[in-house]
Structures are given as structure tokens and as C-alpha cells.
């Protein structure tokens, strides 16, 4: 049976302040639970319906430091989903790692002030799909461990290393010390992605949903990219959703890399 303190603790993890205080985050769902228990991440506590627990190998369940069998009513009290899904895990946040040093074979995603947790989670999922190992977020980007972000990654959060830092300092250092590493930015006045194909490696910077890349970072770009619209009238279409734009650009980079092999 869940205590009021337990419910209060789990619900507090909706807020970044408490996620940082306790070094924990919440993940939910049957598939997510199975994937996370098979990962290298530490599960601090597991809350699940009896039918889910009975369907899992004991070796997997016992990876959780604490196991709690709960009812549907109890799950509803701690879930952040509109429709609670069998299991909720309180996971230990992974250790902070050093920022990646890019090479001429790497592709790194940099996110400048992405505000929507769903967009952020989808971009992390896309990074995993396209084999991008590192996603670097600005200090003003949504929290990677927000429950909505975690859920939107569909488990990819355990396969992609995320970082949060001052982007101006990071990119300035790359530009100064590693001038051979291209830094790509997406702009409405950039070069056509398909007519001026970029080299298939480097750093890709994606900007805020409404404002794009900040002026301070714009000056650090070595290449300005634009995804053309194929609708001649372009009536009512101002720009693409940032996660869709990320998918298109990553796909083109990977296509070019395959072509040059």
C-alpha cells in the first residue's frame, strides 16, 4: 500500500527542483519499464500492477532496488499519464559526463532553447534512430528528465547521452580550437539543404520553436541551412515543427554519409 509520503515524493518529481534534489526521474509504461530494467541505469523503486510483475522474469524485476505491487487505483495516484499504464519506475539519473569532443566522423546535435518537453523527447528519440550519440542542450532548454520528455523518448533516453551547458562557450571553443569541425545552423535565409549538400559530419544546431537560433549563436555558424518548401503558394506555412525539421536534416546527413562510403 502506498503511503502519503511516497505519493507526495513521486508527484514532486514532476518538478525539476526535486528531480535535481533527489537525483531521480520518473518513467512509465510496460515497454518503457522492460527496456529500462534491461539498461545500465539504476531503478530506485518500481511500482507495478500484479499482472505486469507476474509476466516479467524475476532476474529483471530484481534489478530494481525496491519493488512495490500496487493496484490500479494506487497507480492512478502517482502516474503522470492520462491513462496509467501498468508500471511506474523511479530511476536514478545517470552520472554527468564530459562534453563530447567532436571528430571529423561525428554528428552531434545541439539544441538552443527548445521549450516543449515533447519536442525535446522526440528529438532524443530521433538522435537514437540516426545513431547520434550526443545531444547537447542549452541551459534554457526543457529538462531532459521532465516526465513528458522521458515519455516522448520512448526509451531512447538510455541510449543517447545528453548534456546541458552554456552553448556559446562550448561552440566558441570548438570554432576556435577545432576550425575543421563544421557548425551547421538552420535558418529561413540559409542555403537550400538539397542544392548545397553539407558534409555529412559536424555539429547541427536546432533553434527555439518560435525564435530560431539566438543571434549570439548565429555568428558562430560556419554553414546556414534551409529546408525548402515544395508548395509553391506556401499559404499559411511559416516553418516546420523543430522535431520534424531535425528529422529531415538528420536523414539528409545520414544519406550523404552513406553515399560517400
For 199-241, the pLDDT digits (tens) are 889 999 999 999 999 999 999 999 999 998 887 666 555 678 9
Q: Other C-beta atoms within 10 Å of 227: how many?
A: 18
Q: Average pLDDT of 48-77?
A: 95
Residue 198 has pLDDT above 90, yes or no: no
Residue 72 has pLDDT above 90, yes or no: yes
Give the Å distances, CA to CA, from 235 to 229, 232, 238, 239, 242: 11, 8, 8, 11, 19
Output the pLDDT for position 239. Answer: 75
From-to residues of CATH 3.40.1280.10 in the chain? 107-259
Give the Å distances, CA to CA, from 88 to 97, 102, 126, 240: 26, 36, 24, 33
Q: Using 50, 70 and 90 to split pLDDT, how confident is the model at 261? A: confident
What's the mean per-residue pLDDT of the chain? 93
8 A C-beta contact, residue 37 and residue 63: yes
Output the pLDDT for position 235. Answer: 53
* Rg value, the chain, Cα: 20
* Nearest residue to 242 via CA among 194, 208, 216: 208
Output the pLDDT for position 258. Answer: 87
Q: Which grid cell is 145?
A: 528528465
Unique residue bearing C-alpha cell 531535425 = 246
Q: Average pLDDT of 89-112?
A: 94
Q: Which grid cell is 95?
A: 552520472
Residue 1 has pLDDT above 90, yes or no: no
Q: Average pLDDT of 242-247?
A: 96
Is the CATH code 3.40.1280.10 the one for domain 107-259?
yes
pLDDT digits (tens, 9 = 90+) for 122-173: 999 999 999 999 999 999 999 999 999 999 999 999 999 999 999 999 999 9
Q: Which grid cell is 107?
A: 554528428
Q: Average pLDDT of 176-190?
A: 93
From-to residues of CATH 3.30.1330.30 in the chain? 4-92
Residue 47 has pLDDT above 80, yes or no: yes
Q: Average pLDDT of 246-257?
A: 94
> Considering the domain 4-92, what is its CATH architecture?
2-Layer Sandwich (3.30)
Instruction: Tell me the sheet residues that pair with 46.
Output: 67, 89
Amino acid at each position: 500500500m502506498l503511503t502519503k509520503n511516497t505519493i507526495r515524493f513521486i508527484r514532486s518529481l514532476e518538478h525539476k527542483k526535486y528531480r535535481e534534489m533527489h537525483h531521480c526521474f520518473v518513467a512509465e509504461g510496460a515497454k518503457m519499464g522492460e527496456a529500462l530494467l534491461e539498461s545500465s541505469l539504476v531503478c530506485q523503486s518500481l511500482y507495478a500492477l500484479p499482472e505486469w510483475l507476474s509476466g516479467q522474469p524475476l532476474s529483471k524485476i530484481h534489478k530494481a532496488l525496491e519493488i512495490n505491487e500496487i493496484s490500479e487505483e494506487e497507480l492512478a495516484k502517482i502516474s503522470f499519464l492520462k491513462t496509467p499504464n501498468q508500471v511506474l519506475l523511479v530511476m536514478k539519473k545517470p552520472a554527468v559526463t564530459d562534453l563530447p569532443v567532436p571528430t571529423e566522423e561525428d554528428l552531434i546535435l545541439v539544441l538552443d532553447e527548445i521549450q516543449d518537453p515533447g519536442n525535446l523527447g522526440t528529438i532524443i528519440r530521433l538522435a537514437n534512430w540516426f545513431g547520434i550519440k550526443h545531444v547537447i542542450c542549452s541551459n534554457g532548454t526543457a529538462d531532459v528528465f521532465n516526465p513528458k520528455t522521458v515519455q516522448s523518448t520512448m526509451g531512447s533516453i538510455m541510449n543517447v547521452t545528453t548534456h546541458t551547458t552554456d552553448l556559446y562557450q562550448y561552440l566558441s571553443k570548438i570554432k576556435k580550437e577545432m576550425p575543421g569541425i563544421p557548425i551547421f545552423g538552420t535558418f529561413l535565409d540559409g542555403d537550400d539543404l538539397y542544392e548545397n549538400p553539407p558534409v555529412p559530419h559536424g555539429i547541427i544546431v536546432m533553434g527555439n520553436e518560435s525564435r530560431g537560433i539566438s543571434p549570439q549563436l548565429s555568428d558562430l555558424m560556419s554553414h546556414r541551412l534551409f529546408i525548402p518548401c515544395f508548395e509553391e503558394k506556401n499559404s499559411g506555412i511559416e516553418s516546420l515543427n523543430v522535431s520534424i525539421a531535425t528529422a529531415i536534416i538528420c536523414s539528409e546527413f545520414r544519406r550523404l554519409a552513406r553515399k560517400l562510403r
